[in-house]
Structure formats: structure tokens, C-alpha cells
Amino acid sequence: MSDNRKPSSLFLLPPQPSFCQECAVKHGPHEPHNQQSLFYHVKFNMEFGREPTWTDAMAHCSEEMKKAWIYELNKHGINI
């Protein structure tokens, strides 16, 4: 267990190997995690003790990808 993880009695079974191991959804490595995935919410909360945001889901993305997603999320009333 890494230093930033909090102990928990909860555990998750891993996603299928062809799915993202962070959010359990099929997406490219350059794309954001699915912030609305229940798996992602539980895993993130277990690791960081809080709910994930879209900013968290996009943290590993390029600036160009982040801008594109923020633009589309804003069109749907989700302000980042």
C-alpha cells in the first residue's frame, strides 16, 4: 500500500484487462477517466478519501484534451 492510500476494509475486484484499471471503462490512454463510473468513485475515494472531480479524471491528459473536454462539459452545464 502506497503512503497516500488510507486503510480500508472495502476492496474492489479489478476490471477486465482490456478496460481502464482506474475507471473500469474502455477508453484510450490519452482520454479522461469516466468520472461518473461507480468503480472510479469507489476506487478514488478509497485512495484519496474524497469524491473524484472531472479535473481529477482529466489530470493525466494533455492540455489540448483537457480544453476539449472542458468545452464539451460546459456545453452540458458542467462547469470546471
pTM of the prediction? 0.82
Contact between 14 and 54 under an 8 Å Cβ cutoff? The reply is no
Per-residue model confidence as pLDDT tens digits over 47-72: 999 999 999 999 999 999 999 999 99
Any idea where the domains of the chain sit in the sequence? 1-80
Residues contacting 19, CB < 8 A, separation 6+:
25, 26
| Confidence band of 6 (pLDDT split at 50, 70, 90) | low
Contact between 62 and 30 under an 8 Å Cβ cutoff? The reply is yes
Mean pLDDT of the chain: 92
What pLDDT sits at residue 9? Answer: 72
Q: What is the largest CA-CA distance in the chain?
A: 39
